[in-house]
Amino acid sequence: MKKSLKIFALPVFCTALSFSAGCSWLLSDPEYHETVTYDLGLPEVRKPLPFPLVIRPFSADTSARYKMLFRSGERLVPDEFSRWSRTPAEMLTRYCRLAFSRSLDRAPEGKQEREYLLSGSVLACETDLTAQVSRLYVKCALCDSERDFQVLWSKTYFISEPVTLSKEAPGKGAADSMCKAAEKFVQELDQDLSGLAGRLKASSKNLSAEDK
């Protein structure tokens, strides 16, 4: 009876050794499990727009929240150890408010000026491991505060930036690439909003004529 117990214990012990050896690469470097936080940084402050702008909080349709997202084929996988300092929607809201800070709250004190409200929805904020690019997709809309928030203009931006990833710190490469994508998004948004000046001025004149 004792011999059979010894024979049975031997393969179990060997299996435990094999499992431990197979997982040792995960435990050999304690920094492998360190959680690193990244941010989009500070944008270049844009020139004042020809109209006062209010940037509403952006939204995002994702359950990952602070986790960085990496795509491999059809799979979208959150990284447990690479995180954003805020959710993508919160980061982009802050980023745009800083970039367009010269266009915010431009009305003189005591004078009520017509405002245009910019809203945005983050459709994608991810890094594609197969294509080696970071993607930032954002849908924006501009509303008129004096026309029951009627949408005057809308556009969806599809920004892709090449990414260089390292095995040691994949999050850093993804964050660097996403910073460039955010800056490119703001540049294109600035061009589009500046180009709306004539259209918004005409719309304002039509509204004034209707009130008379």
* Mean pLDDT computed over every residue of the chain: 81
Q: What percent of the chain has pLDDT over 70?
A: 75
pLDDT at 166: 86
The answer to whether 31 and 85 are in contact (CB under 8 A) is no
**Each residue's pLDDT tens digit, 23-72:** 232 233 445 468 999 999 999 999 999 889 999 999 998 778 899 999 99
pLDDT at 61: 80
Total count of residues recorded for the chain: 212
The architecture of the domain spanning 32-211 is: 3-Layer(aba) Sandwich (3.40)
Q: How far is CA 145 from CA 58, 116, 129, 200, in A?
A: 17, 6, 42, 12
Q: What is the pTM of this model?
A: 0.78
Domain residue spans of the chain: 32-211
pLDDT at 198: 79
Residue 64: count other Cβ atoms within 10 Å of its Cβ: 18
pLDDT at 109: 60
Average pLDDT score over residue span 87-105: 94
**Each residue's pLDDT tens digit, 109-154:** 655 667 899 999 999 999 999 999 999 999 999 998 777 778 999 9
Question: What is the helix, strand, coil percentage profile of the chain, to 5?
Answer: 40, 30, 30
The runs of H, that is alpha helices, within 84-160 are: 88-99
The answer to whether 164 and 173 are in contact (CB under 8 A) is yes
pLDDT at 7: 39
Task: Give the span between the Cα atoms of 91 and 172, in whole angstroms.
Answer: 16
